[in-house]
Amino acid sequence: MNAENRRGIVMMSAAMAFFIANDALVKLVSASLPTAQLIFVRGLLTTLLLGGVVLGSGLAAQWRHMLQPTVALRALFDAGATFTYLTALFHLPIGNATAINLSAPLFLTLFAVFLLGERVDAKRWALIVLGFVGVLLVVQPSAEGFNAYALLCVFATLLHAARDLLTRRVPAQVPSLIITLATACTVTVLSGLWSLGGEWRPMGSASMAQLAGAALCLAAAYHLLTLSMRAGDMSVIGPFRYSGLLVALLLGYLLWGDVPNALAWGGIALLVAAGLGMLHSERQRSRAALDAATD
């Protein structure tokens, strides 16, 4: 394994751990603060933190890259995903929300088919169907136990997939820190506007400490994810996205006593199997293309 892939694996695994830690902290805070206020305060802290890092790195002069169409559009998709995913997370077990969010690679493949005209063979279509069966088992949209927040989480996953697709289209000369800062600024501004018409509550020291910790985790996760998406072979790095599910299930059990039911466990297994199968198929396809090019 080359050094780029090893670095990408480490960054992807660390990014997922930081994302789940952030999710757990904001889910704890959501018991005492309104959603808009929570996202705004966390976003403001994240923006200040990232702004300081950008200044310290000597990248401030490149702030105009934040206005590039792909960077700005990526930030908007990420902001939409943030609002919808966190709203869903506050009403779902963290393990279930994370499992649904891990269907993003399946949506990426669908985007490649319908937006980029990519051809998909029968095996990959079967994996897509398998993955969506897994999503349904986790969501469990039955007449009795229907939870609209699970469907909102699916929509957030669509937005995350669109964000990842756009990440690959950002010009290579745009620093990853600038991309990350653009996202944080967009989330902060939009959530600030949202919070103007909503309720604000006093924040105690415990809530501020949790939000500061969430901001630190989110800044690290944003940056590490962007780096991992731009380095190495995604068919090698991508499977390590699923390491976040183990962290989410563990924290869900330790903090809230959440244990997925039998159907949800089955759905999680199908989602992981479909995602890994999709990445394996992509690796084989890339190898075949490389072999054909060298013949």
Q: How many domains does the chain have?
A: 1
Q: What residues make up the domain containing 120?
A: 3-294
Residues 6+ apart with CB under 8 A from 205: none
Res 48: pLDDT: 93
Tell me how crowded residue 84 is: count the other CB atoms within 10 A of its CB: 20
Per-residue 3-state assignment (H helix, E strand, C coil) for 121-169:
CHHHHHHHHHHHHHHHHHHCCCCCCCCHHHHHHHHHHHHHHHHHHHHCC
Amino acid at 163: R
Region of residue 232 (left: phi > 0; alpha: psi -120 to 50; beta: else): left
- The conformation of residue 68, written as its DSSP 8-state character, comes to S
- CA separation for the pair 48, 216 (Å, rounded): 10
Amino acid at 230: R
- CA separation for the pair 180, 191 (Å, rounded): 17
Q: What sign has the CA pseudo-torsion 82, 78, 259, 270?
A: positive
Three-class SS of residue 233? coil
Res 57: pLDDT: 87
Going from the C-alpha of 93 to that of each of 99, 237, 245, the distances in angstroms are 10, 27, 12
Going from the C-alpha of 112 to that of each of 86, 119, 166, 167, 290, the distances in angstroms are 26, 8, 12, 14, 20
Per-residue confidence in pLDDT tens, the chain, 295 aa: 677 878 888 898 899 999 999 999 999 999 999 999 999 999 999 999 999 989 998 988 888 899 999 999 999 999 999 999 999 999 989 988 888 888 887 787 777 777 767 777 788 788 878 888 888 788 776 544 457 888 899 999 999 888 888 887 888 889 888 998 999 999 999 999 999 888 899 999 999 999 999 999 988 887 888 788 777 666 667 777 888 888 888 899 999 998 888 888 998 888 888 878 877 776 676 676 666 666 6
Amino acid at 35: T
Residues 253 and 259 sit within 8 Å (Cβ to Cβ):
yes
- CA separation for the pair 153, 160 (Å, rounded): 10
Res 143: pLDDT: 45
Residues 6+ apart with CB under 8 A from 286: 233, 235
- CA separation for the pair 82, 19 (Å, rounded): 12
The candidate with the shortest Cα–Cα distance to 178, out of 24, 278, 30, 61, is: 61
- CA separation for the pair 188, 161 (Å, rounded): 21
